[in-house]
Amino acid sequence: MVYAGDFRNGTTFEMDGSVYRVIEFQHVKPGKGAAFVRTKVKNIINNTTVEKTFSPSEKFDEAQITIAEMQYLYNDGNTYAFMDNKTFEQVELLKEELENILPYLKDNMNVTILSYKGKIFGVEPPTFIDLEVTYTEPGIKGATSTGQTKAATVETGVEFAVPLFVEIGDKIKIDTRTGEYMERC
């Protein structure tokens, strides 16, 4: 059992025959009246997001989520293949299910697969990933301390904003939670 007062980002629970995952939460204690928990939760069965308010004392059954580390193998345009690192079992997911991680997906990269009763509902890349810059305009000499950025295309084909000193062939570290440049490797 999990209480609404114990909700944190990523908490999964069962309510009204569906499974929800907490995306955002806020514990509110107004000056007058009872405390409550304001949340944004995602239904992992049908991928809808709703905002709900709970009393901190409300109880819910905790959903048992299976977490597996899998390796990205290849894609054939619309489907992406992953292999379980322990059982060597392969799973194929549609491109639409991976929209949020496609900019970070590299061959042979390990990702975390989240599933509930055998249905995969989430794929999480590592928090930080190193990518090679394949194209960027040359920087301007002497403009390194201004904090200006330029566009750089990386090996996955996606553009990121990087500082002016980054050049073609450099490896850069990207934060996959925000999509921001962190440092040159």
pLDDT band at 74 (very low <50, low <70, confident <90, very high): very high
pLDDT band at 143 (very low <50, low <70, confident <90, very high): low
pLDDT band at 145 (very low <50, low <70, confident <90, very high): low
The string of pLDDT tens digits covering residues 33-58 is: 899 999 999 998 777 899 999 999 99
Averaged confidence pLDDT in the chain: 89
Q: What per-residue confidence (pLDDT) applies to 71?
A: 96
Taking CB atoms within 8 Å and a gap of at least 24, the contacts of 153-159 are 155/106, 155/131, 156/102, 156/103, 156/104, 156/105, 156/106, 156/131, 158/102, 158/103
Look at domain 66-124 and name its CATH class: mainly beta
CATH of domain 2-62: 2.30.30.30
Domain assignments of the chain as residue spans, ordered by start: 2-62, 66-124, 129-184
What CATH number does domain 129-184 carry, 3.30.450.40, 3.40.47.10, 2.40.50.140, 3.40.640.10? 2.40.50.140
Q: What per-residue confidence (pLDDT) applies to 44?
A: 84
- Average pLDDT estimate for 52-80: 92
- Average pLDDT estimate for 150-159: 91
| Domain 2-62 identical in fold to domain 66-124 | no
pTM (2 d.p.): 0.72
